[in-house]
Amino acid sequence: MPARTNHYQKLVKMINKALASADVKLTESAMLYDYEGKCEREVDILMESIISGCEIKIAVECTELSKPVGIRTLESFKEKHRKLGINKTVVVSHSGFSKPAKEYAIANHIKTLTFNSARSENWSKHFAPLKNLAMYGRTYKLAQLAMDCSPESAKSGFQFGLDTKVIINGALMDVGSFATKVWSESNVAQSHCKELRENELDGAQNPWAEITVELGNNHTFEDRNGVRIQADKLHIRMNYSSNYRELNPKPVEYDGRQYLAGGFFDKKKSEFAHFALIESSGQINGSMEFSPNLIPD
């Protein structure tokens, strides 16, 4: 997360990202050059797009004032954006806008939005199942591999090790990469998420999980000496470590529509995650961003 941003600004960005079309570029804490002041100045959220060959820039400014935003604040944004070549100004407030500020905004084509957290009883039926939404980052490391084969293959002198190759469509893949691929395709992280977490929370040292994959003689293995066999089963054991975080979702009213937004910002650890979801025709879509260090080494 850029040093100049904050939790509130991040949530506003995620909502705008959920709203924007795929060809819109969003930049948080964007620095633009002020040719009159001859210096760079910050815009909280910059949205850029090309329409009919023309570059369009929309600036979204986020205010956390404890009282309604007044005319002076809007004047300041309008003048700054004029110097930066902004085509449209949007101001988002936690506390609304004064009546004179609303009139000024209309006269000067400034869009004003109030970011409201809806009351807890206003959860929609689509968002209600997500009240306890959380996330985790997890790293798996290959701990052990074993294979089953026929008695005939066992007598061939085949030597199984991490330098063993798997022949796939005529190409060679090292057995460690093959095991990782098989592990990922097994979706064990999703199907056994609860058990994997309980294993860690119970204080297990070097927690691990294991799967057995039926190969059905469809894969040929080659050892360091070029001996080839077909295996029946592959046993894969992975050690893993996880970082669990609550996302504290809340219904939010923004520009007349309801979103589910949440996340966290751990300044001490420089960890963050933010998301925004919107429901349309019974389907939930949205966007999410998180810091890479949420995934353990």
Give percent helix, percent strand, percent coil of the chain, each to the nearest 5.
Answer: 25, 45, 30
Mean pLDDT confidence for 234-245 = 93
pLDDT tops 50 at residue 1? no
Q: 248-281: per-residue pLDDT in tens?
A: 999 988 888 889 999 999 989 999 999 999 988 8
User: Residue 235 carries which side chain, given as an amino acid letter?
Assistant: H
Looking at residue 282, its pLDDT comes to: 84
Q: Is 109 left (phi over 0), alpha (psi -120 to 50) or beta?
A: left
Looking at residue 204, its pLDDT comes to: 72
- Output the average pLDDT for the chain: 89
Looking at residue 19, its pLDDT comes to: 75
Other Cβ atoms closer than 10 A to 178: 21
Q: Do the strands 228-246 and 250-254 form a parallel or antiparallel pair, or are they unpaired? A: unpaired
Structural domain 7-131+248-294, CATH architecture: 3-Layer(aba) Sandwich (3.40)
Question: Tokens at residue 145, please?
Answer: 């591999």
Residue 29 has φ and ψ, to the nearest 5°, of 50, 50
User: Is residue 39 within 8 Å of 80, Cβ to Cβ?
Assistant: no
Q: Where are the domains of the chain?
A: 7-131+248-294, 135-245
Other Cβ atoms closer than 10 A to 122: 11
Mean pLDDT confidence for 44-68 = 91
Q: 214-227: per-residue pLDDT in tens?
A: 987 778 999 999 99
Question: Tokens at residue 45, please?
Answer: 């959220």
Looking at residue 297, its pLDDT comes to: 83
pLDDT tops 80 at residue 22? no
Looking at residue 257, its pLDDT comes to: 85
pLDDT tops 90 at residue 51? no
Task: Write the DSSP symbol of residue 29.
Answer: E
Looking at residue 238, its pLDDT comes to: 95
User: Is residue 215 within 8 Å of 232, Cβ to Cβ?
Assistant: yes
